Structure 1
Amino acid sequence: MFNNSISIPVAEDYPDDFSGKTRSRPRRKRRKSEFRGRSEFTNPICKLLTKWWPVLVLIVAVLLLIFEASKLGWRSSTSKPEFRTDDKKPKVEVSSVKNPEGNLNRLDPPRCLKLLPPEQLQNIDFPLNKDIVDPIKKVIYMSDSTANLDPNSLNEMGAARFNLFTGYQTFDQREQSFKVNETASVHCGFYSENGGFTISNEDKSYMRTCNSVVSTCAFGGGDDLYQPIGMSNTSLHKVCYVAFWDEITLATQEKQGRIINNDRFIGKWRIVIVKNLPFKDQRLNGKIPKMLAHRLFPNARYSIWVDSKSQFRRDPLGVFEALLWRSKSVFAISEHGARSSVYDEAKAVVKKNKATPEEVEVQITQYHHDGFPEDKRFDGKKALNEASVIVREHTPVTNLFMCIWFNEVVRFTSRDQLSFPYVLWRLKVLKNIHTFPVCTRKDLVNSMGHVRKAKPLG
């Protein structure tokens, strides 16, 4: 009987070329051979790593430490701390300027302000004759001691802040104030004897002696008083330094150790205490000494206004010579550092909550209606200005300009940057104006920033 079954080998070995002989699988031999080749190469490295691994770990650790130290050093040199910390809790810096005391009493040489040499400043004097012809001969300031005022004026657009101090300027009177003749009549504060901003007779007598003045103010317990620096002995004898305070600021400064002496001075500043401030908004009260210096100092020929957040640091007679007399100007003010257009400034005022959108819209709508252009430059000069420092001669045209500017601030918003270019555009007779760059303004003052918020009245 034949056996037809086929036998399939299952062992590891199998016939090679049908010869009947067997051998191991070639693949296993190749893998074993390759493994032995890699071992011959890697075994010496493994032995080295096993022997020297502590040294390698130490080197890596040192490199990591050096890298982290360099990162910390870079961060400390580029970051600015926003808080001061103690054992209890973080405290936010009061001032809006980082380390304002670092600017105090800095008297580095001016970069852009071209002052006369010191020996000439000692001998400088006010010019006797002027080459500038003023188109306005006389300004009459409206007043009413009986305060017989039409209450219907209160219903006019934007007139809610007019009061016995300002008088109730009608819209028609506003328009007439821009139409200039040799004689001009205008509202200019101090409308009624019951209007407020009360100053003692002694202080009024002192202010009448000033032929030129550097002035500042702080109402509502706002900024500290910074002593002026950099003046010559001649200026100390010829220029008054007057700071206007209210009773809140007086109490605040006394707590800081700034006590008025018997002559009513603190350092070089003559302190004038004002009572019965006419506005609840302290920003508006601050516009009175800022814009109406010709009303407060009736015999002064020149004035310099300095915001309370700044320290004046130059010789005032030298400033008059550099910014007014040399350029044959009657008014000097700084360009705005950030923007050029009034309409762009209006958007920024609303965005920064410096005024309500409603009151800004009323003002800008009126300026649009009057045809005020959106140009960023007028007569080759930047259209927008920054009024923390104002240098001027008290002439009829500059006095009229300041009165109209003040009335615009009362009628619309207290942000005087919005109204300054408009008034300059409408009152075309003010030609001799010197607009100086931001770097000159920085030469004039040390910027300290606002130290504390002024308290509103009422």
Structure 2
Amino acid sequence: MFNNNNSVAINVSDEDSDNLAEKLRLRARRKRKKSAPRGSAKLLSRFLRRWWPLFLFFPAAGLLVFEASSLGHKHNSELATQKKHDSVTEIKSPGNLNRLDPTTRVVAGVRERCLKLLPDEELQQLDIPIKKEFVDPIKKLIYLSESDTPDGIQSRKQMNTTRFNLFTGDQSFEQREHSFKIVNDMSRVHCGFYSKDGGFIISDDDKRFMQTCKVVVSTCTFGGGDDLYQPIGMSESSLQRVCYVAFWDEITLAAQEIAGHKVGEDHYIGKWRIVLVRNLPFSDQRLNGKIPKMLAHRLFPQSSYSIWVDSKSQFRRDPLGVLEALLWRSNSVLAISEHGARSSVYDEAKAVVKKNKATPEEVEIQLSQYRLDGLPEDKRFNGKKALSEASVIVREHTPSTNLFMCLWFNEVVRFTSRDQLSFPYVLWRMKVLKNINMFPVCTRKDLVNSMGHIRKAKPLVI
């Protein structure tokens, strides 16, 4: 039917209306689905135009994060590997000063202390043993002096081609060879203090004090190279029976006074008795330092035991406890630290030259003589390294150990000041000295806090 406004009227039933509505909804849904990608593309395009710089930044940032993460993982992995292989616990930092915590290592899967000292209550009661089972093959040791050689050295000028002087005496090569032939009566042995004009002058007051020492811990600083670190960790018993002696020259005295470390009227700074040495014999300060290091038996003639500590370290254990742990318990007469890196004197010689510790020429002279004498390439002592680190030396003053130190001193005077090179040679030549404790590096780390050298020592002009 048509109406007046030309509209068309369509009459439908309720069922037809529902079907039509459903069809319309489906058609609208399909239309939306077809048009959605077009709208999303438009939005995406608009987003990219606005934020495209970020898409250049994030991949690079992501790569950096990945690399940093990889490096961190690698670093942690390397640290874990290092800790796995390095079983010794030690902290190297300025905080080393006054640390008393023990150094440990892993043995057969169990962590144990490197230096096994007696309990504190036993250390307080510890006494010096009267008798030793060790029988010394040398009964008498007599040192050579100027009075034994009427036609000896007349002046230092005559010795300007070598390092022998009025302090050392002029040891000939024949005398050197004779000193290694061990007999019961060792006489006319070069061992420093050859002439009263040879230098290393100590006051009579200090000499009287040093003659009272039965057990001594000693160190030295010549040329102002290092500060003085107070010993720690000792028992009251050791404080009463052990001398602590630091040898200084006038350069060190002046440097320490400027730093505010003044020697008291009683000659002490803290626990150290300061012994001032005048007229040092050598221009090489390292060689001057070998005198108190190696010739303690001459400086302390009444002493039965001595412990040497390099000036770059702080001694942090009970001295009598150290003697018990390293000497008495193992029936040893000399205890010294193994070298941490090498066992061959020839490899050590290469390292000395590489680090400019000595000239290639002087090292080659020394090594050529050792090769000629037949020193093995990789000498070991009782299955352990014969190459020593020698910053800590613990010993009983017996004729054999005293002779050993004399011969060792003569080698560093004749050749180089690097005592690591001559130690295995003297040990090899002096076959009678067998009661030696070559303790591992971790034991040395437990004995001292390593501080390192503070400044370069000033050379002595003679």
Name the TM-score, length of structure 1 as normaliser: 0.81
In structure 1, the residue matched to 2:26 is none
> The residue matched to 1:122 in structure 2 has which SS?
helix
SS at the partner of 1:278?
A: coil
Give 1:104's aligned residue: 97
For residues 97 and 277 of structure 2, the distance between their equivalents in structure 1, rounded to whole angstroms, comes to: 27
1:284 aligned onto 2:287: yes
1:46 Cα deviation after fit: 3.4
Residues 1:452 and 2:462 are matched in the alignment:
no
The yes-or-no answer on 1:334 pairing with 2:334 is no
Instruction: Pick one of 158, 170, 178 that aligns with 1:168.
Output: 170
- Indicate how the Cα distance of structure 1 residues 152 and 279 shifts in structure 2: closer, same or farther if over 3 A, else same: closer
User: Aligned partners of 1:147 and 1:174: how far apart in 2?
Assistant: 19
Conserved in 2, the CA contact under 8 Å of 1:147 and 1:192?
Answer: no
**SS of the residue 1:192 aligns to:** coil
Counterpart CA distance in 1 for 2:156 and 2:366 is 18
Task: Tell me the SS of whatever aligns to 2:257.
Answer: helix
**Contact between 1:154 and 1:168, CA under 8 Å: does it hold in 2?**
no
Please tell me whether residue 325 in structure 1 is matched to residue 320 in structure 2.
Answer: no
1:55-454 to structure 2, matched below 5 A, reads 100-111=93-104, 112-145=114-147, 148-149=151-152, 160-185=162-187, 186-454=189-457
Relative to structure 1, is the Cα distance of residues 269 and 228 closer, same or farther in structure 2, using a 3 angstrom cutoff? Answer: same
Equivalent pair of 1:153/1:170 in contact (CA under 8 Å): no
RMSD, aligned α-carbons: 2.9
Change (3 A) 1:255 1:99: farther
Distance 2:411 2:218 in 1: 22
Q: Encode CA deviations 1:206-233: one digit per residue, 9 max, x unaligned.
A: 1011000000000011111011111111
For 2:283 and 2:236, the matched residues in 1 are separated by: 40
Provide the C-alpha distance between the structure 2 equivalents of 1:311 and 1:422, rounded to a whole number of angstroms.
29
C-alpha spacing 1:41/1:415, structure 2 compared with 1 (3 Å) = farther
Look up the equivalent residue of 1:361 and give its one-letter code.
Answer: E
Deviation digits for residues 376-411 of structure 1 (CA, Å, limit 9, x no counterpart)? 523311121110000000000000000000000000
Are the aligned partners of 1:100 and 1:449 in contact in 2 as well (CA < 8 Å)?
Answer: no
Aligned to 2:41: 46
The answer to whether the Cα contact below 8 Å between 1:330 and 1:432 also exists between their aligned partners in 2 is yes
CA contact 2:342–2:348 (8 Å) conserved in 1? yes
Mapped contact 1:159–1:168 kept (Cα < 8 A): no
> What do residues 345-388 of structure 1 show as CA deviations (whole Å, max 9, x unaligned)?
01111111100111111100000010111125233111211100
Given that 2:333 and 2:436 are in contact with CA atoms closer than 8 Å, whether structure 1 keeps it comes out as: yes
Greater percentage in helix: 2
| Residues 92-125 of structure 1: CA deviation (Å, up to 9, x unaligned) | xxxxxx9842211111124200000111111101
Shift of 1:49: 1.8
Q: Give SS of 2:265's match.
A: coil
Separation of aligned partners in 2, 1:365 and 1:396: 30
How far apart are residue 138 of structure 1 and its match? Answer: 1.1
2-structure distance, mates of 1:159, 1:142: 22
Residues 217, 153 of structure 1: alpha-carbon distance in 2 compared, 3 angstrom cutoff = closer
- Contact 2:156–2:166 (Cα < 8 Å) also in 1: no
Match of 2:14 in 1: none
Query: Which residue type is aligned with residue 450 of structure 2?
Result: S
- Report the alpha carbon displacement of residue 152 of structure 1 after superposing the two structures with TM: 12
The unaligned stretches of length 5 or more in structure 2 are 1-33, 77-90, 105-113
Give, in whole Å, the separation in 1 of the partners of 2:331 and 2:157.
42
State the distance in 1 between where 2:68 and 2:261 align. Answer: 43
| Cα deviations by residue, 1:273-308 (Å, 9 ceiling, x for unpaired) | 000000000000000000000000000100000000
Q: Aligned in 2, Cα 1:49/1:204: closer, same or farther, shift over 3 Å?
A: same
Q: Tell me: CA distance 1:380–1:67, structure 2 relative to 1, closer, same or farther (3 Å).
A: same
Given the superposition, is the C-alpha separation of residues 272 and 153 from structure 1 closer, same or farther in structure 2, using an over 3 Å criterion?
Answer: closer
Distance in 1, Cα, partners of 2:247 & 2:118: 30
Q: Could you tell me how far 1:148 is from its partner in structure 2?
A: 3.7
Residues 362 and 412 of structure 1 are in contact (CA less than 8 Å); yes or no, is this contact kept in structure 2?
A: yes
For 2:138, what is the secondary structure of its paired residue?
coil
* Corresponding residue number in structure 1 for 2:79: none
Q: CA, structure 1 residues 167+381, in 2 after alignment: closer, same or farther (shift >3 Å)?
A: same
**1:138/1:225 CA distance change after superposition, 3 Å:** same
Q: CA deviation at 1:147?
A: 6.9
Over residues 244-271 of structure 1, what are the superposed CA-to-partner deviations in whole Å (9 max), with x where a residue is unaligned? 0000000001111111011110011000
CA–CA separation in structure 2 for the residues paired with 1:444 and 1:66: 50
Measured in 1, the distance between the counterparts of 2:345 and 2:157 equals 27
Per-residue deviation at 1:52?
3.6
Distance 1:139 1:154 in 2: 30
Q: Retained in 2: the 8 A contact 1:187–1:407?
A: yes
List gaps (5 residues or longer) in structure 1.
Answer: 1-38, 80-97
C-alpha distance in 2 between matches for 1:138 and 1:278: 27
How many aligned positions are there? 400
